[in-house]
Amino acid sequence: MEISYTDFEKVDVRVGRIISADEFPNARKPAYKLRIDLGKEIGIKQSSAQITKLYRKEDLVGRLVLAVVNFPSKQVADFRSEVLTLGVPDRNGDIVLLAPDDDVELGARMH
């Protein structure tokens, strides 16, 4: 399906830094509850992420990630996921997080 550049511009992808990662025992599939600092304009948001196969929660704190910030929030079990943390599957289907190569300002918008 082809979309226009104008459609693409509607998706607001921002850089954030994970400030906490906690177990999410009530999730249907193994996941973490993340708190992500998305800068002054957006603030701290939470996200459910199915990334337990490749990442230990203690290694996630301080890591930069990309997140879609303008999707509606989603109820996941007893948790409200406010942003979509972006990743791609590896050859085993496990999710690899997307992140900038260099340290950039929190809340910077993807272009």
Convert the pLDDT of each residue in 37-80 to its tens digit: 999 999 999 999 999 999 999 999 999 999 999 999 999 999 99
Q: Is the pTM of this model over 0.85?
A: yes
CA distance 98 to 96: 7
Instruction: State the Cα angle at 63 between 109 and 22, rounded to 5°.
Output: 115
Burial of 45 (0-12, 13-18, 19+ CB in 10 A): buried
Q: Where are the domains of the chain?
A: 12-97
Q: Which residue has the higher pLDDT, 22 or 111?
A: 22
Question: Given this model, what pLDDT does residue 13 score?
Answer: 98
Report pLDDT digits (tens) over 86-106.
999 999 999 999 999 999 999
Q: 2 is written with which tokens?
A: 């082809």
Domain covering 12-97: architecture? Beta Barrel (2.40)
